Amino acid sequence: MDMSNLTDTETRQGPENSRTLLHRALQKRRVMDTDRFLEAQLVGDTKAINNQIAKALLSIAEDDEPEILRRRAALSLGPILELADFQKFDGPEKLPITKQTFQKICSSFCKLFHDESIPGSVRRSILEASVRAEQRWHEQAVEEAYASGDQSWKLTAVFCMRYVPGFEEEILEALSSSNRDILLHAICASGNWRLDKAWPRISSLAGSEKTAKPLRLAAIAALGGIQPHKSQPLLFELISSDDRDIMNAAYDSLGMVDGYLGFYNDPL
């Protein structure tokens, strides 16, 4: 089956049989081909996923498949876990997966993560996806990953700290990392938890033209939630940047700042 012509737009907006094609492609067992890898990437979009596809992805993550495919399948379930956890299945919104499927994914991910016979790269991806819906075992898993001394596990841990509370000191420490990937996720975590103590480092990264662009964009985005009064002048300066990406990031972040300041300044 040639899936290369099934674009992301078609998956979201095309005919109903797009999901059927996705499901059939994912059901091929033990075949590491371009089609299956492509599908595992596409279905991470919560608009493309449904119960059947979620179960097919979980089956790939659980089974004796190539590591790269198991990792991608696990990561593709992260967005739907986050959406389901946010909506809690008790609102008027119709979720693309059932509560039973959500619970099965969470339970299986916990079991898979703690199975040390599974390749470490797969376990790391499972943890990264799983933390999108908070569970009790996450805190210890992230703590152990960060303390492991292994850079790959430490990277996973800092990524997870964006979703798992209680790691302020570790995030602040990671902001000094020479590993750009770890630093990037530490920036994102700082912004997500609005860590005031991170402001000097984040503002320095955001304001410097020597900062690598991905890091600088992440720092600008994080400023919107960290010390709004202090961040506002720097963001006003950045919206005049000749770099359109920098300018747009500053506008977006400034919008967050204005929202915070407006909220706190409004009379009761």
Element housing 63 (H / E):
none
On whether residue 9 sits in a domain, the answer given is yes
SS3 content of the chain, % helix, strand, coil (to 5): 70, 0, 30
Q: Is the pLDDT of residue 259 over 90?
A: no
Confidence of residue 197 (pLDDT cuts 50, 70, 90): very high
On whether residue 181 sits in a domain, the answer given is no
CA distance linking residue 89 with residue 98, whole number of Å: 8
Give the pLDDT score at 253: 95
Q: Is the pLDDT of residue 4 over 90?
A: no
Parent domain of 88: 1-135
pTM: 0.84
Task: Please give the tally of structural domains in the chain.
Answer: 1
On whether residue 153 sits in a domain, the answer given is no
Q: Tens of pLDDT along 206-231?
A: 999 999 999 999 999 999 989 998 99
On whether residue 238 sits in a domain, the answer given is no
On whether residue 38 sits in a domain, the answer given is yes
What one-character DSSP code corresponds to residue 96?
S
Return the axis-axis angle of helices 120-130 and 99-113, rounded to nearest 10°.
140
Give the pLDDT score at 43: 52
Among residues 166, 112, 156, 174, the alpha carbon closest in space to that of 134 is found at 166
Q: Is the pLDDT of residue 77 over 90?
A: yes
Give the pLDDT score at 219: 98
CA distance linking residue 249 with residue 239, whole number of Å: 8
On whether residue 195 sits in a domain, the answer given is no
